[in-house]
Structure 1
Amino acid sequence: MARTREFDTEAAVSRAMELFWTRGYEATSVRDLTQHLGIGQGSLYAAFGDKDGLYRATLEHYRATLATAALRSLEEGADVRAAIRALLTERVRIAVERDGQGCLAVNAVCERLPQDVATRRTVRDMQDASREALTEVLRAARDRGEIADRHDPHTVAAFLVAFLNGLLVSSKITPDPRALEPLIDVALTTLD
């Protein structure tokens, strides 16, 4: 008879996410994970398959929590410029408050590609969701006359996602929001 899982997998994924975010994938061993999560190696493998499976689960958790909350706040914003500024500023704040740890998804791409196709797919899905959400917000703002209609909303959204990725990498090098926020002002001129 199979043993019942004796730990909360969602809580384990959340705790593993913090460890991977702090140390990175390569510097986090299975032993580190089992000690940090307070579970046995067999339990980790039974629940997630392997370290890669747990890592992908942490990326999905990141997507479902922080990334989704950021997009939701964007969609709820009345003034598109203020909403986009708040989104970009908040993402920088989160990246910087962790002593320059940056963004878990951007870190995953920088550390795991090209060898990890599954991580690439997971992060690409996150990027696609962000781009599509931004596209819809920008399209609605253009229709309301809030932003210039000379650019395609999809292209501007793709630019903003690429800009955010670069900004999050920069936050690892310069973990100072005051130094990075003026760059957001420049990016927002694409809406003029």
Structure 2
Amino acid sequence: MARTREFDTEAAVSRAMELFWTRGYEATSVRDLTQCLGIGQGSLYAAFGGKDGLYRAALERYRTTLAASALRGLEEGADARSAIRTLLTERIRIAVERGGQGCLAVNAVCERLPEDAATLRTVRDMQDATREALTEVLWAAMDRGEIAARHDPHTVAAFLVTFLNGLLVSAKVTPDLPALEPLVEVALAALD
């Protein structure tokens, strides 16, 4: 008879996400994971298939929690500029408050690509969702006359996602919110 799992896998994935975010994939050993999660190596492999599987689960947790929360904020924004400003500044605030650890998804890209196709798919899905949400906000804002109609919303949304990725890398180099926030205003000028 198979043994039942004796630990909370959701809590384990959350703790692993924090550890991978703090240390990165390569610097996090299976031993680090088992100690952090308080489980044996056999349990880690049985539940997640190993370090790679747990990393995928951690990236997915990031996508469904923090990344999804940022997109919900876009939907609730009063006007396009305010909603986009909030999205960008909130993401850099999180990156800076974590002591320059940046964004787990951007860190994953920098550390794991181009070799890791699964990480590429997960991060691409996150970026696609962000770009699509921004495009919808921009179309609606254009229809309301809030922003100039001179740029294609798809292109502006792609620019904003690219800008955000660069901003999150910069937050690792310069974890200083007052130094990074003015850059958001420069990006918002693309809406004029």
* Length-normalised TM-score, structure 2: 0.99
Q: Give the partner amino acid of 1:133.
A: A
Q: Give the corresponding residue for 2:51.
A: 51
Q: Give the partner amino acid of 1:88.
A: L
Matches within 5 A, 1:1-192: 1-192=1-192
Q: Distance in 1 between matches of 2:8 and 2:134?
A: 34
Q: Distance in 2 between matches of 1:76 and 1:154?
A: 20
Q: Distance in 2 between matches of 1:24 and 1:62?
A: 14
Q: Distance in 2 between matches of 1:165 and 1:130?
A: 11
CA shift, 1:115, in A, is 1.5
- What's the % identity of the aligned pairs? 85
Q: Distance in 2 between matches of 1:154 and 1:60?
A: 25
Residues 39-65 of structure 1: CA deviation (Å, up to 9, x unaligned): 111111111111111101101100100
Q: Give the partner amino acid of 2:47.
A: A
Residues 106-163 of structure 1: CA deviation (Å, up to 9, x unaligned): 0000001111111011101110011001111111111111111111111100000000
Q: Give the partner amino acid of 1:39.
A: I
Moved over 4 A (4+): none
Q: Distance in 1 between matches of 2:11 and 2:137?
A: 33
**Structure 2: gaps spanning 5 or more residues:** none
Q: SS of the counterpart of 1:147?
A: coil
Q: Distance in 1 between matches of 2:84 and 2:115?
A: 33
Q: Give the partner amino acid of 1:119.
A: T
Q: Give the partner amino acid of 1:189.
A: A
Q: Give the partner amino acid of 2:58.
A: T
Q: Distance in 2 between matches of 1:140 and 1:50?
A: 44
CA shift, 1:78, in A, is 1.2
* Length-normalised TM-score, structure 1: 0.99
Residues 86-121 of structure 1: CA deviation (Å, up to 9, x unaligned): 110000000000110000000000001111111011
**Structure 1: gaps spanning 5 or more residues:** none
State which drifts further: 25-34 or 74-83: 74-83
Number of positions where the alignment pairs a residue of Structure 1 with one of Structure 2? 192
CA shift, 1:164, in A, is 0.1
